[in-house]
């Protein structure tokens, strides 16, 4: 009787996590983000291998063959989906310009003091700063204004404010509407017009999943409407490659620069546990006019995001 109870306990302990992981994997197969808690768990899809492995071990100890097979199937599916998405065709046209892009969420402006020396050290040509509220915008204008004389911003307090800093002349253009600021501009990069758009949709908090999907959908629609010319869409997307809503943004003709540079799974959030644990939710997405190299995630004090720096090359493809 004791052995039977122990086996039954092992089956339950293995079956419950397998059921939960199976729901998440099923949504990944179905290409949907569903509802809470699926979007939150999808952000950490690679780490679901851990409870799946534990469930397989428990199934073996309980001599539950159905659970062992179930776990093996789920583990195989996770391994399949953990593989990075494709890079597309590398542009082979003549080089028109080279530029470095940095994006950083400074968490309510708290990391502004840490960002400024990083910008001076890395010397990016374009800087996308999310959650850059009034004090942050004043500080970057004062400290970086000489090197970055061109700015396009959405003023706001707390997480609403955002700004694009540029060494290149900027022409203001309509940004993407959202709960938090997402400014846009057109940069004159060595005589070539490059459309810039900062991304910062709402995070998929339990009561805001619909809003998160809607704002990512606006970014997708924006990218789909951009019919021609180079485009850089960068910022804190609050979404990883395992979210269907983010993959739809990519499906509008964009590629992830970190993936192009070979760093598709390097976590950017939360910074306290990265790179050992986390999700890559900060991205630089580019049109097919660009190739990318040397993507690096940098730790900044006083923010829960790591900054992302990528080197881009603009090619003539049309």
**Are 140 and 245 in a shared domain?**
yes
**Are 136 and 54 in a shared domain?**
no
In a domain, 236, yes or no: yes
As a whole number, mean pLDDT of residues 127-151 equals: 98
In a domain, 63, yes or no: yes
In a domain, 87, yes or no: no
Q: Which residues contact 263 (CB under 8 A, 6 or more apart)?
A: 295, 296, 297
**In this model, does residue 287 exceed pLDDT 80?**
yes
The answer to whether the pTM exceeds 0.85 is yes
DSSP 46: G
Separation between Cα atoms, residue 160 and residue 202, nearest integer Å: 10
Closest by alpha carbon to 93, among 291, 301, 295, 267? 291
Number of domains in the chain: 2
User: How many CA atoms are closer than 13 Å to the CA of 288, on its beta-carbon side?
Assistant: 15
- Of 22, 52, 82, at which residue does a domain stop? 82
Separation between Cα atoms, residue 45 and residue 208, nearest integer Å: 20
The pLDDT score that the predictor gives to residue 227 is 77
In a domain, 90, yes or no: no
**Are 45 and 143 in a shared domain?**
no
The pLDDT score that the predictor gives to residue 4 is 77
**Are 255 and 137 in a shared domain?**
yes
As a whole number, mean pLDDT of residues 177-194 equals: 97
The Cα-based distances of 7 to 16, 19, 51, 53, 70 in angstroms read 14, 18, 19, 18, 17
The residue ranking higher by pLDDT, 215 or 264, is: 215
As a whole number, mean pLDDT of residues 290-296 equals: 94
Positive or negative, the CA dihedral 235, 241, 242, 248 is positive
- Of 21, 47, 82, at which residue does a domain stop? 82
The pLDDT score that the predictor gives to residue 67 is 95
**Are 139 and 176 in a shared domain?**
yes
**Are 133 and 221 in a shared domain?**
yes
CATH (domain of 157): 3.60.10.10
The pLDDT score that the predictor gives to residue 43 is 96
| Residue in this structure with the two tokens 């195989």, named with its chain if needed | 76
**In this model, does residue 263 exceed pLDDT 90?**
no
**In this model, does residue 15 exceed pLDDT 80?**
yes
> Could you please report the per-residue DSSP string of 55-82?
HHHHHHHTT-HHHHHHHHHHHHHHHHHH
The pLDDT score that the predictor gives to residue 177 is 97
**Are 220 and 291 in a shared domain?**
yes
**Are 184 and 279 in a shared domain?**
yes
**Are 51 and 135 in a shared domain?**
no
- Kind and range of the H or E element at 305? none
Closest by alpha carbon to 307, among 162, 150, 114? 114
In a domain, 88, yes or no: no
The pLDDT score that the predictor gives to residue 69 is 97
**In this model, does residue 252 exceed pLDDT 90?**
yes
3-state secondary structure of 290: strand
Host domain of residue 59:
2-82
- Of 34, 49, 82, at which residue does a domain stop? 82
48-59: pLDDT as tens digits: 999 999 999 999
The Cα-based distances of 310 to 5, 56, 72, 125, 245 in angstroms read 56, 40, 37, 11, 23
Separation between Cα atoms, residue 60 and residue 54, nearest integer Å: 10
The pLDDT score that the predictor gives to residue 317 is 80
The pLDDT score that the predictor gives to residue 131 is 98
**In this model, does residue 261 exceed pLDDT 80?**
yes
**Are 201 and 66 in a shared domain?**
no
Mean pLDDT, rounded, of the chain: 95
**Are 290 and 233 in a shared domain?**
yes
In a domain, 89, yes or no: no
Q: Which residues contact 152 (CB under 8 A, 6 or more apart)?
A: 163, 164, 166, 170, 172, 183, 184, 185, 196
**Are 122 and 257 in a shared domain?**
yes
């Amino acid at each position: 009787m004791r052995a039977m109870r122990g086996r039954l306990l092992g089956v339950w302990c293995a079956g419950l996590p397998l059921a939960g992981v199976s729901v998440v994997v099923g949504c990944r197969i179905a290409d949907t983000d569903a509802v809470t808690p699926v979007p939150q768990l999808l952000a950490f899809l690679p780490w679901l291998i851990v409870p799946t492995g534990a469930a397989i071990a428990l199934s073996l100890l309980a001599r539950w063959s159905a659970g062992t097979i179930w776990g093996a199937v789920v583990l195989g599916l996770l391994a399949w989906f953990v593989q990075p998405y494709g890079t597309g065709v590398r542009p082979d046209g003549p080089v028109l310009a080279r530029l470095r892009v940095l994006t950083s969420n400074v968490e309510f402006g708290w990391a502004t003091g840490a960002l400024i020396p990083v910008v001076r050290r890395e010397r990016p040509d374009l800087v996308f700063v999310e959650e850059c509220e009034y004090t942050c915008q004043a500080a970057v204008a004062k400290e970086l204004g000489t090197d970055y004389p061109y700015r396009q911003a959405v003023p706001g307090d707390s997480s609403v404010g955002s700004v694009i800093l540029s060494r290149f002349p900027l022409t203001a253009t309509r940004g993407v509407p959202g709960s938090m600021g997402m400014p846009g501009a057109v940069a004159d990069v060595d005589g070539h017009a490059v459309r810039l758009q900062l991304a910062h949709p709402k995070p998929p908090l339990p009561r805001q999943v619909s809003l998160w999907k809607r704002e990512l959908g606006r970014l997708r629609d924006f990218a789909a409407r951009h019919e021609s010319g180079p485009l850089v869409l960068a910022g804190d997307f609050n979404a990883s490659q395992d979210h269907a809503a983010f993959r739809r943004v990519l499906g509008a003709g964009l590629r992830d620069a970190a993936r192009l540079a070979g760093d598709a799974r390097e976590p950017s959030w939360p910074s306290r546990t990265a790179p050992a644990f986390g999700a890559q939710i900060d991205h630089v997405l580019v049109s097919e006019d660009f190739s990318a190299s040397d993507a690096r995630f940098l730790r900044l004090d006083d923010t829960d995001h790591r900054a992302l720096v990528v080197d881009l090359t603009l090619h003539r493809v049309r």
